[in-house]
Structure 1
Amino acid sequence: MEKLDRAAAPVHRPGGGPSGLRWTEAPPGVAVVACVRDEEAYLAEAVASVLVQDYCGPLRLVLAVGPSHDATAQVAAELAAADPRVVVVDNPTGSRSVGLNLATEHAAGDDQVLLRVDGHTVLPTDYVTRAVATLEHTGAVGVGGLMHPVGTSTLQRAAARAMSHPAGIGAASFHVGGEAGPSETVYLGAFRRSAVEAVGGYDPSLVRAEDWELCLRLRRAGGLLWFDPALQVTYRPRRTLRAVAKQFWRTGMWRREVIRRDPSTASVRYLAPPALVLGLVASALLVAGGALAALPAVVALGAALPAAYVVGVVAACAHATGRRPRLGLREAVVLPAVVVTMHLAWGAGFVRGLTARAVADHRA
């Protein structure tokens, strides 16, 4: 990778204009890669945010388009026809890991940085410039920042708040923020292409959790991953409660698969949702058994966990609602249902585990 002038700190100028970074040599080529399917509603916005970047070096966007139930392929083709920087490749498997590897293969040979986006994201105009600068200043093999969920409907706004609160999907820095520094993983990420290719790219056997698993191999190969909260990416959450449940169910299944392959990757954050699901099932059995046997003490014992969970969810949602900007009344009412759906769908998917049907459903 060509060197940045290290005296030029990656500072952001108000208003979203060029960051003022100086290059000692020609800036590296950047291939923005994405795997998309069923993204008709968001793809044009996502692509537009890439094409208006203030980056002063070569930049191209490679879209790996999977089988969709909407007009995603048509939208992608129209976007490619309108701008030569956009390239479309077919991803018949629909798998994200396979699609991202295909996109990488179709990137130009001199592109030294791989920067991932997806169909639900919108980049600020200085994102690519800052990401490449951060790679250079830190010496990291991969950098990433904050997922900034933004919704346009009541359910989406509630989901966005849940996804950016520790009670929603954990306290990972890319969800809730924190200080810049070394990280276990990065959200989406900008990577040195040589480092990604050295570890074999994304694992094609993984449909979900492929990003986390790639970061694990990069770290084990001696690479540094870096979190920079100034790198913020707008993310559009799912639009219905059913879609949220489906998303988290699949994520839970694939997280179990990652842990099955490598038990050392297990953590409290990943094991808490399945433990909750199993605990609630046990509580229901205790309540039912105690009621049938007319044992009030057993009923009370069985009801303890569900009651504590409800209190915890209500308290967490009250805290999340009060964060600035405050949620509206409708979003506040919907928020507990969204949080519970995330927890239980993720946990139930983990308990159920990966099945051949799950893989087939993903590719359908």
Structure 2
Amino acid sequence: MIGFGDKTSIGVITIGRNEGVRLLKCLDSLNASDAPFMRIIYVDSGSTDGSVIAALDMHVQVVLLDTAQPFTAARARNAGLAALRDGTAPDLVQFVDGDCVLDPGWIDTADAFLAEHPDVAVVCGRRREMHPEASVYNRLCDAEWNTPVGEARSCGGDALMRWSALEAVGGYDPTLIAGEEPEMCLRMRRAGWKIWRIDAEMTLHDAAMMRFGQFWQRMRRGGHAAAEGAAIYGRDAERHGIAARRRALVWGLLLPLMLLLGAIPFGPWVLWGFMIYPAQIVRLALRDGGTQGAWERAMLMTVGKFAEAQGVAAYHWRRWQGRTGGLIEYK
């Protein structure tokens, strides 16, 4: 190892639900790694496709979530942390979603970075979509994950983290059904830790997002995460989730509602106001260079605001009813 050397202990937590072949590829990449993983734990959220048996056959420790409680990714990751805690705790934890393949050089690079930066709690690299050519939705994912290199506000589902930082903040909030990583990273930053994105290949992700309905569900989940984050931290200095929630509500609910209601007293000419949406697509596409990819992203992100608004509304409706939601899955 380049970083902590032989003294470094690293545990791996993989989570999944009905990932099938994607999970096998994920576990293969972990078993094939030269990194000194002390334990690899797979946490399953009620799979019915044989994922549990497949993981056991690959000699991976399996944790089954209790089906009596709603599944969340945060709950699954905490269950993995609890399993690691039941023994000798590692120095570092690599989180990998079950639909991702770990790059063989990632652990060496990330470990070395953490060794040189003791104030960094979380390091993440470049997550790429495995098949961006398969659909416009996969290409959107690939572009979305190309975040700026340097200090960041949060990470995604794949990242290498310090055990001490995870313990200090109490892990993930298991009540969140989306947006659990940004929320935990916020608590880490409040505790004085830093989050960092480095210029290194980390994982390949298989979104398998081929239908508009999948894209809609994914955007709806994003709206839900923004609403929940804003409800918890929106009044604090970080204003967590406020901007995303505002954009979703303005573009996905308030503007169309105002135009439709305005047409009643003022006539159908008010509906020409809906031209603001194609104008927004043009603005976003030109801002990002006017390439084919820029036009694709501009169109999807503009349409996606309606799905995000639905997610925001659904969160507040459940909150008003005193109900909790479950996973919002797009696969």
Interval containing the TM-score (normalised by the shorter chain):
0.7 to 0.9
Alpha-carbon shift at residue 276 of structure 1 (Å): 0.9
Q: Deviations over 1:284-339 (max 9, x none)?
A: 4157436xx5464x343x2342342343466579835268xxxxxxxx8x877644
Alpha-carbon shift at residue 344 of structure 1 (Å): 2.4
Match of 1:26 in 2: 6
Alpha-carbon shift at residue 253 of structure 1 (Å): 1.2
Match of 2:312 in 1: 350
Q: Which amino acid aligns with 2:62?
A: V
Alignment partners' CA distance in 1, 2:267 and 2:245: 37
Q: Does 1:242 find its partner at 2:213?
A: yes
Match of 1:226 in 2: 196
Q: Does 1:77 find its partner at 2:53?
A: yes
CA contact (8 A) 2:74 2:177 kept: yes
Q: Does 1:64 find its partner at 2:40?
A: no
TM-score (norm 1): 0.76
Q: Secondary structure at the match of 1:111?
A: coil
Q: Secondary structure at the match of 1:228?
A: strand
Q: Secondary structure at the match of 1:116?
A: strand
CA contact (8 A) 2:43 2:63 kept: yes
Q: Which moved more, 1:213-222 or 1:134-143?
A: 134-143
* Cα distance, 1:320–1:161 mapped onto 2, change above 3 Å: farther
Match of 2:112 in 1: 133
- CA-based RMSD of the aligned residues comes to 2.9
Alpha-carbon shift at residue 282 of structure 1 (Å): 3.0
Q: Secondary structure at the match of 1:176?
A: coil
Alignment partners' CA distance in 1, 2:26 and 2:38: 15
CA contact (8 A) 1:146 1:230 kept: yes
Q: Which amino acid aligns with 2:152?
A: S
Picking from 147, 150, 155, the partner of 1:186 is: 155
Match of 1:311 in 2: 282
CA contact (8 A) 2:124 2:155 kept: yes
Alignment partners' CA distance in 1, 2:299 and 2:21: 25
Segments of 5+ residues of structure 2 without an aligned counterpart are none
Alpha-carbon shift at residue 230 of structure 1 (Å): 1.0
Match of 1:278 in 2: 253
Aligned length: 313
Match of 1:36 in 2: 16
Alignment partners' CA distance in 2, 1:335 and 1:227: 23
Q: Deviations over 1:55-101 (max 9, x none)?
A: 1x234221110113x40xx2332232233xx1100112422111111
Alignment partners' CA distance in 2, 1:79 and 1:185: 29
Alignment partners' CA distance in 1, 2:254 and 2:283: 15
* Cα distance, 1:335–1:210 mapped onto 2, change above 3 Å: closer
CA contact (8 A) 2:227 2:315 kept: yes
Q: Deviations over 1:132-162 (max 9, x none)?
A: 221111221111122212326633xx12322
Match of 2:179 in 1: 209
Structure possessing the higher radius of gyration over alpha carbons: 1
* Cα distance, 1:81–1:220 mapped onto 2, change above 3 Å: same
Q: Secondary structure at the match of 1:63?
A: strand
CA contact (8 A) 1:31 1:115 kept: yes
Alignment partners' CA distance in 2, 1:322 and 1:252: 23
CA contact (8 A) 1:30 1:114 kept: yes
Q: Deviations over 1:150-195 (max 9, x none)?
A: 326633xx12322344xxx5xxxxx23433x221112222111111
Q: Does 1:200 find its partner at 2:170?
A: yes
CA contact (8 A) 2:15 2:73 kept: yes
